[in-house]
Amino acid sequence: MKIFNPASFAKFFPFYEESASSNRPVYFDNAATTQKHKHVIEVTSNFYQAENANVHRAAHKLSAEATVKFEQARETARKFVNAKSTKEIIWTKGTTEGINLIAQCFAQTTLAKGDEIVLSYAEHHANIVPWQQVTQATGAIIKVLPLDNEGRIDKSAISGVFSENTKLVSLVMISNVVGKLNPIEDIVKAARAVGATVVVDAAQAVAHQSIDVQAIDCDFLVFSAHKMFGPTGIGLVYGKEALLDAMPPYQFGGEMIRKVSFSGTSFGELPFKFEAGTPNIVGVIGFAEAMKFVSSLDLRAVADYEESIISYTHKKLSDIPGLTFLFKGKPDVPLFSFNLTDHAKDVASFLDAHNFAVRAGHHCAMPLFEYLEQGGCVRASLAPYNTQTEVDSFIALLHQFVKSGIEAEGEVEASDVSVTTAPSLTPDEASIDDTTVDDATIEVIERFDKAKGWDGKHREIMLLSKLLERMSKTERNESSLVKGCESDVWLKAHLDDDKHWHFSADSDAKVIRGLLVIVLAAYQNKSCEHIQAFDIETYFERLGLLQHLSPSRGNGVRAIVENIRKVSR
Ligand code: PLP
């Protein structure tokens, strides 16, 4: 067996080319999507450049060749999951569409009132919401399997949840938050014993394990190409032929028909009856390339490497003061979900300021966080191109984050900045209308101007966050919640006798509280006319703020501004 070398593995990925290195972040967000293999990029761009034609329709060579490639890809997928026939492989947009297809075409047409669908607390929204729609349409109900203290589906609970009413079981193989392999074999056995149909969500598993649908003995299995080095917008449903055959089509139109007439239309055979319209041809071809790449890997060597990086990272993370993992024990794949002293989004935004890409929040698994009674977590998810050196820098940064939090406490106490009392001062004439800006605003601008780079500005935001007076728990309610922010943000407005507006605001994330201080500095104690006239975009531009925020966070800041302007109209 060859020793796995992450640097050689990285050579397959243009993202890791030397020429692209200067601004490249350390990418620890592989559970969201992986980087793309060079062959995937090559075959997709080559198809568009030299081979482009539609499939299954035109009577010319180019189309015939495109059709052959397209159907060869289906054979690659059949082999990849060990399905019996290519009729069992249906192309979809991804895992989400795959589950929707099964929910609408299978569950909705076969389940009835009182039937039970079994899910677990660790499911992604994609494996919850489609089933909730089924329950509304059919009167079926959802039952939820609990997790053990390591975060795996609790085997001992299966017998108490499954019954003769269990008609469908849809479970995640490896959760995108827990990172542990669920006891799928035991679950399939229990489902078979009560005659239930089994759906497996392999979205996260597919990049880490070989998939054999016959060995798993599931009825359906779904995954997406983009989590295994392939393109976005393409995935597949594996379904047992007899089940797919009995199901009605998913969508209707071209490609999925045998004959169309105003006197009656008949549908095509498998797999085409589920593939209405021009498919994602280039996606399918790129997906096949990704499957070929994964199949070519020495999975044992990759697993050994992953095991070593898991143990190393888990140990190093455990040594960080204040860090808590979501679950006990090491993960089975290199995916680490944890919380640190501050809000998860603050940790992620600190890491982002230091060019590390991780994800923070509820990770499309809100019911899991409700079950754990937690607000979210930071998730660092690694792939085989990630190295121990990157892990070391990551750990050093997290130590720095903890330390800087402690130091910042002292600094803020010493600070004399106040954004709530604010006489007028002249701003930078070049950009801001001086009739609407006060001391506090100027002071914010000055502090930002002095801060060097995004790192410095980010630190400034964190310090400013301490200046925001927190709202009480009762004030933070549905009616004060600002819509359109990715974090929870609450805003209340009050007009004084001089017709000046006063705002209180709060957020669950420190970074947002810092941004709120900046936003409120521009609007606090101002008349309606001033608020409406204030040029906030120039203010942000002058601060060098929005260009550093992610589009969703930038939109969140704008949503706060919109709310302020709306209430004060
Ligand atoms: N299921 C799991 C476990 C996932 O991790 C994801 C994506 O993160 C999905 C389903 C949805 O996949 P997609 O967004 O590719 O449809």
pLDDT tens-digit profile of 146-174?
A: 999 999 999 999 999 999 999 999 999 99
Q: Residue 214: what residue type? A: Q
- Ligand 1 centre distance from Cα of residue 207 (Å): 12
Percent of the chain past pLDDT 70, that is, above it, reads 92
The predicted-structure confidence for 333-388, as pLDDT tens digits, reads as follows 999 999 997 678 889 989 998 999 999 999 999 999 999 999 899 999 999 999 99
Active-site option among 364, 377, 485, 528:
364
Distances, alpha carbon 367 to alpha carbons 139, 147, 177, 301, 478, in Å? 21, 12, 12, 35, 19
Sequence ranges of the chain with CATH classification 3.90.1010.10? 415-567
- Ligand 1 centre distance from Cα of residue 130 (Å): 13
Architecture of domain 40-295: 3-Layer(aba) Sandwich (3.40)
Cβ–ligand 1 distance for 126 under 6 Å, the answer: yes
Cβ–ligand 1 distance for 100 under 6 Å, the answer: no
Place of tokens 């779904």: 222
Element (H, E) at 336: strand 335-339
- Ligand 1 centre distance from Cα of residue 96 (Å): 6
Sequence ranges of the chain with CATH classification 3.90.1150.10? 6-30+299-397
Q: Residue 234: what residue type? A: I
Sequence ranges of the chain with CATH classification 3.40.640.10? 40-295
Atom of ligand 1 nearest to the CA of 33: 8
Distances, alpha carbon 210 to alpha carbons 33, 82, 239, 295, 332, in Å? 18, 10, 17, 8, 14
pLDDT score for 485:
67
Name every residue whose Cβ is closer than 8 Å to that of residue 183 and which is 6 or more positions away in sequence.
Answer: 152, 153, 155
Which residue has the least CA distance to atom 12 on ligand 1? 95
Cβ–ligand 1 distance for 124 under 6 Å, the answer: yes
Atom of ligand 1 nearest to the CA of 174: 3
* Residue 218 among the catalytic residues: no
Sign of CA dihedral 448, 451, 455, 459: negative
CATH dotted code for 415-567: 3.90.1010.10
Using alpha carbons, select from 132, 144, 83 the residue that is nearest to residue 104. Answer: 132
Fold of 6-30+299-397: Aspartate Aminotransferase, domain 1 (3.90.1150)
pLDDT band of 463, cuts 50, 70, 90: confident
The predicted-structure confidence for 321-336, as pLDDT tens digits, reads as follows 999 999 999 999 999 9
Average pLDDT, rounded, for the chain: 90
